[in-house]
Structure 1
Amino acid sequence: MKAYLITIGDEILIGQIIDTNSAWMGQQLNLNGMQVAGITTAPDEEQGIRAALQEGLSKADAVLITGGLGPTKDDVTKKVLAGFTGGRLLFHEETYRSITRFFEQLGRKPTEAHRLQAYMPDNAQLLRNRMGTAPGMWFEHGGKVLVSMPGVPYEMKSLMKEEVLPRLKAQFPLRAIAHRTLLTSGTGESRIAERIADLEDTLPPHIKLAYLPNLGQVRLRLSGEGADLASLEQEVDSWAKRFRERLVDIVFGEGADRLQAAVGRLLQERGLFLATAESCTGGYVGHLITSVPGSSAYYTGGAVVYSNELKQKLLGVSPQTLSQHGAVSEEVVREMVAGTIEHIGGQVAIAISGIAGPGGGTPDKPVGTIWLAVGNRQVTEALLLRAGKDREKNIQYTGAHALHLLRQFLLRHYPQ
């Protein structure tokens, strides 16, 4: 079964808001054995909506629409859908009572615009919206299905879970779909592809591998399609295990896990506390670590040390080292690790110093030159990154590599 997604709204087309509805709907449809044949955004006007409907119906069994169901004059979805499917807009008393009750609970009275909102297509099955005033609408048209839902995300999600997905599953034959996602860090997709090329070549036709790269990380998604879900999941699990064993040094988790959470588990399992010292990343690594609930069980704290004076005063970095090698150097980040453990605490530390950009580079140390170090009182390991010229991406890239370097350090020096 194929579905086509249409979001309606000028605010999406002009970039005023981001279309998160389609991403969530696509994910849910796929998890329930349905394929998304296409996604489009239509303006708040009849011609554009009609064109999107015709496109969707030519490619899919069901067209799912969000947006354009509010009480204002620019919300024209109902009118267009009624005309497109051969229906008429008629006043719907039950919908108006629902709108009235909603506003009474807020201590307000509905307006005339809300009364107009209660006019519904007479050929639609109305779907109860427990989270708002605009009901969803289900149309049968030419042997296919059209579904219209509010654009407010929490209203759409409620309708999808409680009304739309159960109806779609009951109406269309569906094939089983299973996904497993392996999460890797520290290695680019081309190098990963080289390491698993032989495994990938032996995948059966009904199981596909996708590479989903991000800054410093790559997700490997195995997707299988078949007739029986239980046997399919067992088969995909078996393949995921083979890929994970091949990439055991860089796979840190699966599914929705996060690298900072995986590192936190390693620290907590080993009874270690971490401290951080950051220059060009401005506390970003500390932010990643503390975004995990319970991080106080393994994170002592951190220092943001941009100036050379602060590196000396807070961490005890040698003025001679700074003078001889410069702040962006292996020697300085190694001393920062030692000083962080000594003055901030913890058994292990991360230190970062670099040129995030867009300015500040020199011929021998261009923008994107970033030194990382991870260590304890006995051993320190350093890494030079050659990043790009975009400041924000450089910071994110550095954060991912810092956590990866820490994870590798813990596995090597604190094995269980």
Structure 2
Amino acid sequence: MRVAVVTVGDEILAGDTINTNAAWLCEQLTDHGVTVERITTVPDTVSDIARVVNEYHAECDAVIVTGGLGPTHDDVTMEGIAAAVGRSVEPHDAAKEWLSAEKGYASDDLADGTTALPARARMLPNEVGVAPGAVVESIYAFPGVPAEMQAMFESVAAEFSGEQTVTEIVAIDEYESELIDRIADLREQFAVTVGSYPGDCVRVKLTSTDPEAVAAARRWLTARVSLADTDDETA
């Protein structure tokens, strides 16, 4: 399963808010065996949301959009998603009923836009907050508040699945440039994905759906490099 993550918010682009939602979602999706193809942040603009969601909807099995749900002037995510799939935005009866039954809101208490979802969307209850989410075709709209987003994702997590992967990390006390030939040989000999991440040491990440391939690749690599001293249990 291939998924794209789109985070919406001028505050993210301005650096006022750290984009923790994308990191959390990618970790969860990876744990579910899902491949995250894209992470993109867009402003609170209907046209930008629509363009990016439309593109990723055509390329991926699912698109997750976080942020911009609610009744305020900059909450335009539902409009952007609706535009991406050629639908209108309209009051959603299930959302009204849920807010009334579960949150105690009367219809007159709800600001315009709180229950407006793309036509024929599946409403996702917001157990932590107020603004509901939605599923439109294979596009999932979650709130931007981290606690709300996490709870809503967990309610549909079973809809995201793929082949489970195994990962090993080898910490190496050499310069990354010195490892180029050995990493090339590793990639040629073993059916694993290899990532190389420099820092205090070079961490080489080995990933595959085949545990035996990862174990064999790790043995091969550790026999040919100078290992770094590290307290990281994953290394």
What TM-score, normalized by structure 1, do the two folds share? 0.49
| Residue 125 (structure 1) aligned with residue 103 (structure 2) | no
Q: 1:55 to 1:201 in 2, by over 3 A?
A: closer
CA distance in 2: counterparts of 1:162 and 1:137, whole angstroms:
12
Compute the displacement of 1:148 (Å). Answer: 0.6
Compute the displacement of 1:94 (Å). Answer: 2.5
| Residue 157 (structure 1) aligned with residue 150 (structure 2) | yes
Query: Aligned ranges for residues 183-262 of structure 1 at < 5 Å?
Result: 183-184=171-172, 186-193=173-180, 196-197=182-183, 200=186, 202-204=188-190, 206-214=191-199, 216-225=200-209, 232-247=210-225, 249-250=227-228, 252=230
Structure 1 gap ranges (5+): 104-109, 226-231, 258-416
CA distance in 1: counterparts of 2:133 and 2:179, whole angstroms:
45
Structure 2 gap ranges (5+): none
| Residue 182 (structure 1) aligned with residue 141 (structure 2) | no
CA distance in 2: counterparts of 1:203 and 1:31, whole angstroms:
26
CA distance in 1: counterparts of 2:169 and 2:60, whole angstroms:
27
Bigger CA radius of gyration: 1
Q: Larger relative CO (CA 8 A, sep 6+): 1 or 2?
A: 2
Compute the displacement of 1:211 (Å). Answer: 0.6
Give deviations 1:334-364, integer Å, cap 9, x for gaps: xxxxxxxxxxxxxxxxxxxxxxxxxxxxxxx
CA contact (8 A) 2:126 2:132 kept: yes
CA contact (8 A) 2:54 2:84 kept: no
Compute the displacement of 1:59 (Å). Answer: 2.2
Question: Alignment length, in residue pairs?
Answer: 230
- SS at structure 2 position matched to 1:180: strand
Q: 1:209 to 1:248 in 2, by over 3 A?
A: same
Q: 1:202 to 1:44 in 2, by over 3 A?
A: closer
Q: 1:79 to 1:222 in 2, by over 3 A?
A: same
Question: What corresponds to 2:28 in structure 1?
Answer: 28
CA contact (8 A) 1:182 1:255 kept: no
Instruction: Give the letter for the 2:147 counterpart.
Output: Y
CA distance in 1: counterparts of 2:129 and 2:171, whole angstroms:
38
Compute the displacement of 1:245 (Å). Answer: 4.4
Instruction: Give the letter for the 2:160 counterpart.
Output: L
Q: 1:161 to 1:182 in 2, by over 3 A?
A: farther
Q: 1:255 to 1:127 in 2, by over 3 A?
A: farther
CA distance in 1: counterparts of 2:37 and 2:63, whole angstroms:
10
Compute the displacement of 1:99 (Å). Answer: 7.1
CA distance in 2: counterparts of 1:66 and 1:198, whole angstroms:
38
Q: 1:44 to 1:255 in 2, by over 3 A?
A: farther
- The percentage of counterpart residues that share the same residue type is 28
Q: 1:132 to 1:209 in 2, by over 3 A?
A: same
CA contact (8 A) 2:187 2:193 kept: no
Question: What corresponds to 1:73 in structure 2?
Answer: 73
Compute the displacement of 1:224 (Å). Answer: 1.3
Which of 129, 152, 158 pairs up with 1:166?
A: 158
- SS at structure 1 position matched to 2:196: strand
What TM-score, normalized by structure 2, do the two folds share? 0.82
Q: What's the RMSD between the two structures over aligned residues?
A: 2.9
Q: 1:201 to 1:178 in 2, by over 3 A?
A: closer
Q: 1:233 to 1:251 in 2, by over 3 A?
A: farther
Q: 1:192 to 1:73 in 2, by over 3 A?
A: same
